[in-house]
A and B are shown apart, each in its own frame.
Chain A
Amino acid sequence: KAGVTQTPRYLIKTRGQQVTLSCSPISGHRSVSWYQQTPGQGLQFLFEYFSETQRNKGNFPGRFSGRQFSNSRSEMNVSTLELGDSALYLCASSFPDSYGYTFGSGTRLTVV
């Protein structure tokens, strides 16, 4: 079966712009989580959606937001981009919770 698909793979944006990243989970998976990975901070949890509802949220500013659609696909939006937002953004899906997470290949965001 198809894995977790993230688009686009690479993005270059300018400070102050906004960006939307997309994640399509494995078919049948209802939970989608987002993580930010940077060399300094490692992997940090952004938020998790389950059946279109935000189930959990990490400690990121309100510029970071997300949503999940009825087909379980999820989008993450970052507004007013800062240089520090440059990172690899990873999406993971799971269902049920006991089956663990499957990650996508990530979106590499560079803010210049």
Chain B
Amino acid sequence: KQEVTQIPAALSVPEGENLVLNCSFTDSAIYNLQWFRQDPGKGLTSLLLIQSSQREQTSGRLNASLDKSSGRSTLYIAASQPGDSATYLCAVRGYTGANSKLTFGKGITLSVRP
């Protein structure tokens, strides 16, 4: 059974800091990995999608990497801003059958202080 872990559960940083959010998963047989952002009481916004054959993806100030062999992904946020304050969720998708669904971590709640 796939398990996804995100530590720490919460993080507070001053504005302008570069930061790394970590995600680990137990089963390396993943189809893809997706990072999401969730604002309080809202739905999920997709940030980056990494296919199993890829090592990283970039979008603006965000960069996500994937190391399947070690079961790890990181989301790098450059020059953090107060508007980046949200919960960041990592989710992995397996290939077939019962694993062909998204398994989520519990998320990291980020607070960027002005």
Interface residues of chain A, those whose CB is within 8 Å of chain B, are: 4, 6, 33, 35, 42-43, 45, 48, 55-56, 58, 88, 90, 92, 97-106, 108
Contact = CB atoms under 8 A, between A and B. Distances in A.
20 contacts: A4-B43, A33-B101, A35-B102, A42-B105, A42-B106, A42-B107, A43-B104, A45-B102, A45-B103, A55-B100, A56-B100, A90-B44, A97-B31, A97-B100, A100-B32, A100-B46, A101-B46, A102-B46, A103-B43, A106-B42
B45 to A, nearest CB: 8
A56 B101 contact: yes
B34 interface: yes
A55 B91 CA distance: 19
A103 B104 contact: no
B76 interface: no
Nearest to B94: A56
Contact of B101 (A6, A48, A88, A100): A48
B114 interface: no
B51 interface: yes
Contacts of B89: 43
A108 to B, nearest CB: 7
A50 to B, nearest CB: 10
Nearest to A100: B49
A98 B43 contact: no
Contacts of B43: 4, 6, 90, 103-106
A6 B44 CA distance: 13
Contacts of A103: 36, 43-46
A108 B42 CA distance: 10
A56 B103 CA distance: 13
Contact of A33 (B97, B102, B105): B102
Interface in B33-60: 34, 36, 41-46, 49, 51
B97 A101 contact: no
Nearest to A6: B43
Interface in B53-105: 89, 91, 93, 97-98, 100-105
Nearest to B103: A45
A108 B32 CA distance: 28
